[in-house]
């Protein structure tokens, strides 16, 4: 893990930009992954990457549902 969202995002942003992609971070938060229980919870927010209009954990929850079939995926855009 990393201390701040920007610390997690920066290496990926640099790699994608170097490949010619445009990068825009729509927001941030936290992920709780309980592998044994097959549960994922997306929650919280980032002061460094506040939510853009129309973005939120719903988008990430759909990605997680596709990547982790059989998991319970819940989300909240509220704080901690």
**The one catalytic residue among 1, 5, 41, 67:** 5
Please choose, from the candidates 64, 2, 79, 76, the residue with its C-alpha nearest in 3D space to the C-alpha of residue 33.
64
Cα 68 to chain centroid distance, Å, stands at 14
The verdict on whether 33 is a catalytic residue reads no
Residues that are catalytic: 5
């Amino acid at each position: 893990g990393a201390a701040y969202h920007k610390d997690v995002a920066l290496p990926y942003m640099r790699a994608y930009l170097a490949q010619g992609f445009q990068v825009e971070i729509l927001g941030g938060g936290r992920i709780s992954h309980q592998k044994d229980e097959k549960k994922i919870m997306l929650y919280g927010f980032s002061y460094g990457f506040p939510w853009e209009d129309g973005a939120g954990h719903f988008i990430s929850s759909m990605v997680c549902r596709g990547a982790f079939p059989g998991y319970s995926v819940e989300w909240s855009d509220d704080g901690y």
